[in-house]
Structure 1
Amino acid sequence: MFTNNLNNLILNSDSYKTSHWVQYPAGSEYMSSYVEARSGDYDVVFFGLQAFIKEYLSMPVTMQDIDEAETVIQAHGLTFNRAGWELLVKRHGGYLPLRIEAVPEGSIVPVSNVVCQIVNTDPDFYWLPSYIETSLLRAIWYPSTVASVSRYCKSVIRQALEKSADNSDSLIFRLHDFGSRGASSHESVALGSLAHLVNFAGTDSMTALVAASRWYQMANNMPAFSIPAAEHSTMTAWGREGETAAYANMIEQFGGAGKTFSVVSDSYDLWNAIDNIWGDTLKDDIKNMGGTLVIRPDSGEPIKVVREALERLAVKFGTTINSKGYKILPDYVRIIQGDGISPQSLGRIVNAVMAAGFSADNITFGMGGGLLQQVNRDTMSWAMKASAISIDGNWTDIYKDPITSHAKRSKKGRLALIKDNNGQLRTVKADELGTVSNNLLRDVYVDGKLIVEDSLTTIRERAGW
C-alpha cells in the first residue's frame, strides 16, 4: 500500500535521483555541490535555509520511511538504494551525514556567486548531496527570490521618499503583503510572506507570523502589523444606495485618534466616492475623527487611477507643500494602491505621482501575486550544481559547459565567498584562501545538527533594515 506521508524525506526528491547512486564512478567518496542565482535583475537576499533545516532535516529518517519509500519507488518503476538508506539509519541514527555551509541569512550577494555549499561527511554517502538537491534548492530559491524582489521594491520606494518626502521613517510600512490568497500553497505563504518581512513590517498574511515564531525565534515579538480594512463584500452588502452609509460605518467603527483604516472605494464609481462621498458628505467626519482614512482603488490602470485620485483628493481636502517642494494631503487621508503592483509598475507609479507634484508620502502599496506568485526559479536562474568530487582520496574539479548555452556554465571546485580588496563579494576556490580564511560561507548544518540559528531581527539587520 502506498504511503500518504508527505514528510518522508526520501520521497522529497525527483524520481530520477533514486538511481544516481550507481551512476557515479567507482571509488567515489565525497561530492561537493553549490547553490547560486546565475543571473537576474536583483541582488540576492539569501533567506530560507534555516526554515528548511528546522522543518525537514531536524527529524531522522526511519525504517518506516525506508519501507514506505521502497514500496513507492519500486512500483514507480525505479531502482531503490535500500542498503544505503538502511546504513544511514544504523550508522547515523537517520540523520543526514552532510555539511551545509552558507552565507548568513539576510546577506546581500550579487548574482552569480555561491550562497550555499553542501558536501557529505561520510564517504559511503557520496550520493546524498545530489539526492537532496530538489528539496534544498526549492527551499532556497523561492524565499530568497521573494526577499530579493521585496528589497528591490523597498529601494524604489526609499528613493521616492528621499526625493519627495520630509523623511523616510515610514518606509517599512510602505509595501504591504496582499499575497496570501494568490500563493500556490499554505507553505508558500509561510515562506514567501516571511521573506517579505525581511524588508518590511506590513502584511495581511497571518501565516507569516506563525512562520516567524516557528522558524526564526520571534515567539515573543510581533514581526509585522496590519490595519482594519474593508473588502467589496462589506461595502456592497449595503447596496449601491447604501454606499455612503457603508463608508460612514467604517468611520464609526474604526475612526479615532491615532487609528488608521482602509476602505476599498471603487465598488461602483471611485470618482463619485472621492468627490461626493468622502470629499463632501463625509468630509467633516473624516477631518474630525482624529485618525487616518486610507482610500483603496482596486481597478483600472494604476498610474492613471492613482494620479487622478490624488488630484481629486487635493481639490476636496487641500494640500500643503513639504520641505522638498511636493504636495502632501492632510494627515487624515491617504491612498493605498494594491491592484496591478509589480516591481516595474511600482516604479512607474511613484514617478508619475512625483511628476504630478505629489509626494510619495501620500501613497502606500499593496502587492499580492507580483510578490509571492509571479516568481519562479528562472526569475534569478537559480541552480544547484556539483563542482568537485573525491575519488579514491583525490579531489577533482567537475563542471558543465554546454556549447549550446554558455549561460549555463557551472563553477569548478570547492568554493568560498570572499570580500576582495575593492569591497566586492567574489566567488573563489576554497584552496585559494590560504592560511587566513576570510570565507563568508559558514557551517549551518553538520551531521543532523543546526549549528547557527538566527532570529528574524538579526536577519533584518543584515539586510539593511
Structure 2
Amino acid sequence: MPTENPILNVDSYKASHYLQYPPGTEYVSSYIECRGGEFAETVVFGLQAFLKEYLCKPVTRENIEEAADILHCHGLPFHHAGWEHIVLRHGGLLPLEISAVEEGSVIPLHNVTTQIVNTCPACFWLTSYIETALVRAIWYPSTVATQSREIKKIIAHYLSETADSQDGLPFKLHDFGARGTSSLESAMLGGMAHLVNFQGTDTLSGIMAARKFYRARMPGFSIPAAEHSTMTAWGRENEVSAYQNMMTRFSGKHKRFAVVSDSYDLWNAVEHIWGETLRDSVINTPGTVVIRPDSGNPVQIVVECIERLMTIFGAEINRKGYRVLPDYIRLIQGDSISRFSIPKILQAMKEQHQSADNITFGMGGELLQKVDRDLMSFAMKASAVRISGTWKDVYKNPRTGPEKASRRGRLALVRQDNGALNTIRLEALGQRRNLLKPVYRNGELLIDTTIDQVRQRASI
C-alpha cells in the first residue's frame, strides 16, 4: 500500500538535499522532458491525477513527526524546520507552481513538457524533493498512453487499406492488462491512460480512475466473455452445451459476447461445434459471437481461424476488395499481443485478403506492464536557481554521457510558424504564447481537464 505521508513519498537521499544547496538559494526551477526513446513523440497524461490525489492535500504535523522518526532511524537528516514552515505559513499545502502542456498534448521528444518552481524562498529545496513522486506520476501513464496511441495508428493504417470505414477503431484494442500490473494503482493509471485512445477495456479500475480524476462518466465498455474455467467446468464431453449456454445467456439484438474456444481443440470447436452443431444458431440468433483463440502462434492462428470461419459462414467483398465475415461472427485475439505482433498479424491478414474489420485485439501485460521509464527516457532536471536575488543557469553535461546533457535556464514551449514545437528560454518568449500553463499553485488545482478534452488532443 502507498504511504499516506507525502514527506515519505521520496527517494531516501532527497531528505539530505536541503543542506547541499549554496547559501542564499531562494528558488529552484526544474523541468521534465523525454530525452529519447522508441517513439518520436509522447502523449502527456497523468499529471492531474497525481495533483488531485496527492498535492492538493495538506501535510500535517503528524506527517512531520512520523517522517522525522523514520528518516532519523533510516540514517538521514530531516528538515524539521522546513516542513514546520510549510505547515505554519502555508497550511500544509506545498508552495510550488507546476506548469505543463495541456494533458493529451502530443509532444515531440526532446521538449519540455512540465516545469516546477517553488513559490516560497524558504522552500527552495522543495522543487527537487518531489522529483521521485512527480516523475513516476507522469512517465507511467504517459508511456502507456503513447504506446496505445502508436498501436491505434497501426490499426488505423490497416483499416484504411482493408476496410470500408474506421468506425470500429475505438474498440479495436481492448485492455486485458489489469491482472498483469504490479499494483492496483498501476492498473488504475495504466488502464485510464489506455482510455485516452480506445474505449474497450476490462480494467475496471481504469474506468474508476478516469471518473475520479478526469470527470469521465463512462469512458470505456466491455462485453460478456467466457474464460477457460467457465467452459471447462462443463467437461469436454459437454463443450457444445457450454457454448450453447453462452448464446442463450448473452445473445440479442446489437449485443456481442466472446467465447474462448481453444480449451481442448480450437479447430474442432471452429469447424464442428461452431461450424456444424451451432452453425444455424450462430446465423439466426441476433447479435455477434466473437470467437477467441488463446494459444499458438498468433499470426498463424488468426489468419487460419478467420479463413476457416469464412469457409463455413462465407464472406463479403468490401469496397477495398478485402473479405469480411458476416456481422454475426468475429474474432478477438488476446494471446501474445503486443505493439510488435499486431502489425504482423494485420499484414498477414492483408496478404490473405482478409479485412482488419474481422478482428479485435486484447492486450494484457504488454500494454500496462512491459513499459519502463527508459522507453522514452523521462527525466526531471534543475535548470535554473535564484541565489541572493539573481537567476543563474544550472545544467549537467557529462563527458561520459553526452546524451544526458540537460537544459539551461527557465524554459518555455512555443509553436513555431511552421507548426513545429520548440523549447526556448523563457526570456526569449516575447509575444509568443507559452504552451506551458500553470496547472497547480500552492495546493490549488488551476485547470481541471476532462477525459474528452484529453482524447481530442491525442486523436490521430
Answer whether TM exceeds 0.5 for this pair.
Answer: yes
Match of 1:187 among 176, 185, 208: 185
The partner residue of 2:141 within 140, 143, 148 is 143
Choose 66-75 or 388-397, whichever is displaced more. Answer: 388-397
One of 196, 204, 208 as aligned partner of 2:202: 204
Letter in 2 for 1:114: V
Alignment-derived partner of residue 278 in structure 1 = 274
Q: Which residue of 2 aligns with 1:396?
A: 392
**1:120 maps to what in 2?**
118
Q: Structure 2 residue aligned with 1:30, among 27, 36, 39?
A: 27
Q: Give the superposition deviation at 1:407.
A: 1.3
Pick from 290, 296, 309 the counterpart of residue 286 of structure 2.
290
Partner-residue secondary structure (3-state), 1:151:
helix
5 Å-filtered alignment, 1:263-412, equals: 263-412=259-408
The 1-side partners of 2:2 and 2:364 are apart by 31
Partner of 1:100 in structure 2? 98
Measured after TM superposition, the shift of residue 463 of structure 1 is: 1.1
1:429 equivalent in alignment to 2:425: yes
Q: Distance between the aligned counterparts of 1:382 and 1:274, measured in 2? A: 46
Q: For residues 208-256 of structure 1, what are the alpha-carbon distances to aligned partners after superposition, in whole Å with 9 as ceiling and x for unaligned? A: 12111211112xx211100000000000001111111101111111112
User: What is the rounded CA distance, in whole Å, between the counterparts of 1:379 and 1:388 in structure 2?
Assistant: 27
Name 2:443's counterpart in structure 1.
448
1:408: how far off?
A: 1.1
Which digits, 9 at most, give the CA deviation of each residue in 1:109-130, with x for residues without a partner? 0111111000001111110010
Q: Structure 1 unaligned runs (5+)?
A: none
- Which residue is equivalent to 1:257? 253
**Larger displacement relative to structure 2 (399-408 or 191-200):** 399-408
4+ residue segments displaced more than 2 Å: none
Shift of 1:5: 7.8
Question: Does the residue aligned with 1:335 lie in a helix, a strand or coil?
Answer: strand
TM-superposed CA distance for 1:62, in Å, is 0.6
The alignment partner of 1:431 has SS state of: helix
1:457 aligns with 2:455: no
Distance 2:34 2:349 in 1: 34
Percentage of pairs with the same residue = 57
SS where residue 419 of structure 2 aligns?
Answer: coil
Aligned match for 1:222, one of 212, 218, 229: 218
**Distance 1:5-1:351 versus aligned 2 partners, 3 A rule:** closer
C-alpha offsets along residues 114-166 of structure 1, whole Å, 9 cap, x if unaligned? Answer: 11000001111110010000000000000000000000010001111111001
Correspondence list, 1:5-154, <5 A = 6-42=3-39, 43-154=41-152
TM-score normalized by the length of structure 1: 0.97
Q: Which amino acid aligns with 2:380?
A: M
> More displaced, 403-412 or 85-94?
403-412
Distance 1:116 1:287 in 2: 54
Distance of 2:452 and 2:68 partners within structure 1: 42
Task: Give 1:164's aligned residue.
Answer: 162
